[in-house]
């Protein structure tokens, strides 16, 4: 298994900031540092709402889903729904077994593909997910079917996670600008990560306007404001992100960089950095060296190699 490189933004006006991916949290589960994208309950391409077969209903939703899955052995929805319920109980292994069952019934069932590759992303199994998604993309092309944009965005994110921006960027360029809120957040993230981060500006503004209560959107919008030479606007966005989700480390890190290298307030920068370290041990831009060596002044941190998953 390849070592998973966690996403970090490219240099922003000479400084690298932590870009956040918004991955929709799994129901009942602790999110992976509150990152959201692949919606576990987003039923793309579900046929006719998959009506329940005529079986005796159980009081336990998990037992009911199992009974429905057994009664309709060719319908991929019910094992997919069973996976959702397993995740509500924090049973990731059982959820993956249910998703494998769903995909055995229909290997191109988009909701199951999306949720399984999300779990693989969280577990750093990027190569496995890339193979699965590329196979699905090739089958769609051979059949003349469009490849669902949520799966395309997921594929780009997996390529980004293994530092294959040469593969991620062409996929990102095909994503529709009017996609779902999750897809828009992923686009902003991927564009900020790419070689043309300015292309993320309009999308970031749109995302934060449509979903202002999503912490990742506020964080990424703050990066675009800093790139535009608006540190006050950037600070406001980063602080909004913290208010929305105080557990998310990235905005604290970005505020430390902003205060240190843009507003030259060493005391404020040190406080934000300490708050960040209380939430994460990652140090993608080498700020530990900066704060440990006051004589270094405002020397730029080195380019980061890892950031949040």
What averages of pLDDT result for each successive group of 10 residues across the chain (309 residues)?
36 52 36 30 37 59 91 95 95 96 97 96 95 98 95 94 92 85 85 84 91 93 92 96 94 94 94 94 86 57 35
For domain 11-45+109-296, give the CATH superfamily: Tetratricopeptide repeat domain (1.25.40.10)
Residue pair 228/202 in contact by the 8 Å Cβ criterion: no
**pLDDT score at 241:** 96
Residue 145, Ramachandran bin (φ over 0: left; ψ between -120 and 50: alpha; else beta):
beta
**C-alpha distances out from residue 45 to 111, 115, 138, 225, 268, Å:** 7, 14, 18, 37, 49
Residue 305's SS3 state is coil
What's the pLDDT score for residue 10? 34
Burial label for 195, CB within 10 Å (0-12, 13-18, 19+), is exposed
pLDDT given for residue 67 in this prediction:
92
> Is residue 59 helix, strand or coil?
coil
CB atoms within 10 A of CB 38: 26
Specify the length of the chain in residues: 309
Tell me the β-bridge partners of 16. 11
The predicted pLDDT at position 59 comes to 67
């Amino acid at each position: 298994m390849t070592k998973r490189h966690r996403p970090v933004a490219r240099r922003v006006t000479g400084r690298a900031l932590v870009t956040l991916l918004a991955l929709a949290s799994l129901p009942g589960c602790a999110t992976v540092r509150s990152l959201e994208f692949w919606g576990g309950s987003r039923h793309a391409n579900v046929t006719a709402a998959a009506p329940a077969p005529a079986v005796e209903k159980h009081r336990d939703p998990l037992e009911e889903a199992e009974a429905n899955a057994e009664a309709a052995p060719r319908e991929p929805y019910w094992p997919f729904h069973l996976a959702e319920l397993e995740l509500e109980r924090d049973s990731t292994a059982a959820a993956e077994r249910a998703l494998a069952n769903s995909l055995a019934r229909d290997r191109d069932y988009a909701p199951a593909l999306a949720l399984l590759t999300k779990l693989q992303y969280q577990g750093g199994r990027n190569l496995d997910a890339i193979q699965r998604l590329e196979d699905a993309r090739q089958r769609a092309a051979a059949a003349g079917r469009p490849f669902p944009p949520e799966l395309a965005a997921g594929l780009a994110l997996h390529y980004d996670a293994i530092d294959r921006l040469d593969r991620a960027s062409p996929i990102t360029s095909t994503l529709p600008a009017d996609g779902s809120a999750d897809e828009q957040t992923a686009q902003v993230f991927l564009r900020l990560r790419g070689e043309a981060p300015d292309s993320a500006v309009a999308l970031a503004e749109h995302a934060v306007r449509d979903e202002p209560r999503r912490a990742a959107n506020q964080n990424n919008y703050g990066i675009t404001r800093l790139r535009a030479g608006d540190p006050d606007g950037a600070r406001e966005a980063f602080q909004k992100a913290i208010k929305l989700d105080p557990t998310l480390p990235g905005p604290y890190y970005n505020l430390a960089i902003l205060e240190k290298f843009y507003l030259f307030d060493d005391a404020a920068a040190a406080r934000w950095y300490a708050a960040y370290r209380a939430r994460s041990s990652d140090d993608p831009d080498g700020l530990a060296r900066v704060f440990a060596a006051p004589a270094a002044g405002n020397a730029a941190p080195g380019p980061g190699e890892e950031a949040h998953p």
